[in-house]
Amino acid sequence: MAVPRRSLDGRLFWVLGLVCAMYQIFFVRSAAGQTAQLSVNASPQNTQMIPENMFGIFFEEINHAGAGGLWAELVNNRGFEAGGPNTPSNIDPWLIIGDESNIIVATDRSSCFATNPIALRMEVLCESSGNDVCPPGGVGIYNPGFWGMNIEEAKVYKVSMYIMSSDSMDLTVSLTSSDGLQNLAAYTITADKEDFKEWTKVEFDLQSSERNPNSRLQLTTRTSGIVWFDQVSLMPSETYMRHGYRKDLASMLANLKPKILKFPGGNYVMGNYLSNAFRWSETVGPWEERPGHFNDVWGYWTDDGLGFFEFLQLAEDLGACPVWVVNDGASRNEQVPSATIAAFVKDVVDGIEFARGDPGTSWGSVRAAMGHPEPFQLNYISMGNQECSMHYYKENYRKFYSAIKASYPDIKIISSCDRSTISPVEPADLYDVHVYTSSGDMFSKSSMFDSTPRGGPKAIVSEYAVTGNDAGRGTLVAALAEAAFLIGLERNSDAVEMASCAPLFVNDNDRRWSPDAIVFNSWQHYGCPNYWMLHFFKESSGASLHPSTIQVSNYNQLVASAITWQNSKDGNTYLKIKVLNFGNKAIDLSISITGLENEIQTFGSVKTVLTSGSLRDENSFQQPDKVVPVESPISNAREEMSLVLDPYSLTSFDLLLDLKSSLQMMHSVPESSLHSSM
């Protein structure tokens, strides 16, 4: 991607910075017209600490974000359960190779798994020779995955499936192009009549000889007989942290350095009906035994390979604090009365035991058997998904609160109710806030928490996004408006504990919601402008916030903040000043910094700008870097600076305060570059 610029030759890097500075001085500044003064008080006496878990991410199973996305399973409907409990059922997207004269395929209830009883029965009517000869490539079934399987050259893919047959078998398992003509890898299973008379698990690897981003998995034969299949899986051998997540997408999350991971929704937690709600206990244990469920809110089946355990593991892998949104007995169309809510309460307490219990506990032992004997650090429970107005919510909430606190008093519980309703009768550690609005209104909400009383429960803004016509599929103006909102959260971090954007992912083949932060298909991905905007805030969690004020006449389109943060990799300390210009004027900005304990170093400071030629500019697979942050060195870094802000832009100034690291950097820069930049 286009963000990292530090790989430039040192000489070129600093010369380009000098050219940029001269351009601003002699050309842009004279055309700016509008002036503004930004004052930053960096005195330690006026510092406010931003919460450690301030900025993070929110994952919901929407837009095929997990099934066909972050979860690396390539087979769609691996257990043939998506068609429902009726047999024979729709086995979409599985399709037949051959026709009714040589193959008959149907589902039945012969599976060896009680929790997902449907299996596929394939009856082959043709032979390799004789009167009923099979087609040259054989007959069988194939799975195209989620709009094509991305198969890469020389990469290894693990196949796992269950097979049962009383007949002899000569079955070829292969990876091919979408039309079946290009063979990428193949493996043949041969067996006598007695070898598979009981359900048998078969596992092997396929190594692809070529690359094809639109491939399929097919099972073919030229031997007559009846074969049953169940739980057919194809996984890349290389996944993020070897835990089953698609490597490129999980890396996009890791690059944000999120401090919280809220999961698994959203409306996905509730379901339109409780029968289709997310049930954590049905998503743990061996993947073959997970029943899966229909995501009736967003309209597709999920095998629940990405389950409760995997969400907790992902949070740990990202270094984020998990925030579990629980089903509190409500769907979008149903409610469980308080008199019968006890089973739901126990289910949540059991879920916490799964995450945190010792291996000797009932549910802790299940987690340990999955390969994680150490407890997960689950410290936040969010009660439901903004259903405070529902009839039974408050009464049910009190029962959940009491039961959780009785067993786990340290867990912080998040209420779906507004701050004004929280009291000793309706206690809460935090309250949830969702903000979906237009770009103009989102910009104005940078002051949303300015007047919030301090003391009492703090907010978690767990879902926020610009929506409407100007949001498009992820526009520059939407990203800038959200940046203004986040700067407001920084300034009010004594009233706001955490924040996360929504939605996180969208498979480009199944857009149920726009905009989203990350767009992908089977083999490509890119970040929308709001994804890149989040990079401006990844150092804010746990940083020191400094008071800042802007003075400008007849122009109310500027928002700013200032923090001090330390780079964990090299130990350098920086003063980061972020300034958002949400107007159509270039701004001649003067910055004045007081109260610093360490001087700003001449070299090592960097300016980063997010802007583009049009407010409606978006990234795409064809132009993934159209709207991305661009870094350049600051040649005149000091306590008093004058520079120009582009119209409709987000700019950050990372000013190096660490002398030792600065001297090391100076020694690594060519001497001629040092002279030319001074």
Helix (H, G, I), strand (E, B) or coil at 32: helix
Q: Do residues 77 and 91 touch, judged by C-beta distance below 8 A?
A: yes
Smallest CA-to-CA distance from 288 within 277, 303, 301 is with: 303
The per-residue pLDDT for 11 is 39
pLDDT at position 671 over 80: no
Find the angle CA(86)-CA(92)-CA(95) to the nearest 5 degrees: 115
Q: Position of tokens 């996905």? A: 268
pLDDT at position 136 over 80: yes
Element (H, E) at 347: helix 342-356
Neighbours of 437 (CB within 10 A): 18
| Three-state DSSP string of 285-339 | CCHHHCCCEEECCCCEEECCCCCHHHHHHHHHHHCCEEEEEECCCECCCCECCHH
Cα dist. 13→5, 117, 343, 607, 671 in Å? Answer: 8, 63, 63, 12, 13
Q: What is the pLDDT of residues 434-446, one digit of tens each?
A: 999 999 999 999 9
Question: What DSSP designation does 599 have?
Answer: P
Give the integer Cα–Cα distance in Å for 386 and 384. 6
Fold of 51-71+238-244+255-427: TIM Barrel (3.20.20)
Smallest CA-to-CA distance from 265 within 500, 59, 506, 504 is with: 59
Q: Which two tokens stand for residue 587?
A: 């701004």
pLDDT at position 478 over 80: yes
Cα dist. 397→156, 350, 445, 607 in Å? Answer: 48, 17, 29, 47
Q: Do residues 233 and 78 touch, judged by C-beta distance below 8 A?
A: yes
- Rounded mean pLDDT, 226-245: 98
- Rounded mean pLDDT, 453-474: 95
pLDDT confidence band for 110 (50 / 70 / 90): very high
Give the integer Cα–Cα distance in Å for 36 and 645. 10
The pLDDT > 70 percentage for the chain reads 92
Smallest CA-to-CA distance from 532 within 314, 246, 255 is with: 255
For the chain, the domains span 32-49+541-657, 51-71+238-244+255-427, 93-234
The per-residue pLDDT for 659 is 52
Q: What is the pLDDT of residues 490-506, one digit of tens each?
A: 999 999 999 999 999 99
pLDDT at position 138 over 60: yes
* DSSP string for 387-420: -TTSTTHHHHHHHHHHHHHHH-TT-EEEESS-GG
pLDDT at position 662 over 60: no
Q: What residues contact 355, with CB distance under 8 A and at least 6 apart?
A: 308, 312, 322, 324, 367, 375, 376, 378
- 73-77, 192-196, 268-272: segment of lowest average pLDDT: 192-196
Fold of 32-49+541-657: Immunoglobulin-like (2.60.40)
Q: Do residues 618 and 473 touch, judged by C-beta distance below 8 A?
A: yes
**pLDDT: which is higher, 12 or 335:** 335
pLDDT at position 615 over 50: yes
Q: What residues contact 557, with CB distance under 8 A and at least 6 apart?
A: 443, 581, 582, 583, 585
Q: Phi/psi at 486 (nearest 5 deg)?
A: -70, -35
pLDDT at position 332 over 50: yes
pLDDT at position 5 over 90: no
Q: Position of tokens 């960097």? A: 606
Q: What is the pLDDT of residues 315-326, one digit of tens each?
A: 999 999 999 999
| Mean pLDDT, the chain, integer | 92
pLDDT at position 578 over 50: yes
The pLDDT > 90 percentage for the chain reads 86
pLDDT at position 308 over 60: yes
pLDDT at position 127 over 60: yes
pLDDT confidence band for 620 (50 / 70 / 90): very high
The per-residue pLDDT for 213 is 97
Give the integer Cα–Cα distance in Å for 157 and 74. 10
The per-residue pLDDT for 32 is 46
pLDDT at position 256 over 80: yes
State the CATH architecture for 93-234.
Answer: Sandwich (2.60)
Q: What residues contact 660, with CB distance under 8 A and at least 6 apart?
A: none
Q: Which two tokens stand for residue 283?
A: 């998503």
Give the integer Cα–Cα distance in Å for 164 and 63. 35
Helix (H, G, I), strand (E, B) or coil at 168: coil
Cα dist. 240→237, 245, 550 in Å? Answer: 10, 5, 44
The per-residue pLDDT for 569 is 83
Q: Phi/psi at 156 (nearest 5 deg)?
A: -105, 140
- Rounded mean pLDDT, 383-402: 96
pLDDT at position 377 over 60: yes
Cα dist. 639→224, 295, 354, 593 in Å? Answer: 82, 55, 53, 5
Neighbours of 388 (CB within 10 A): 17
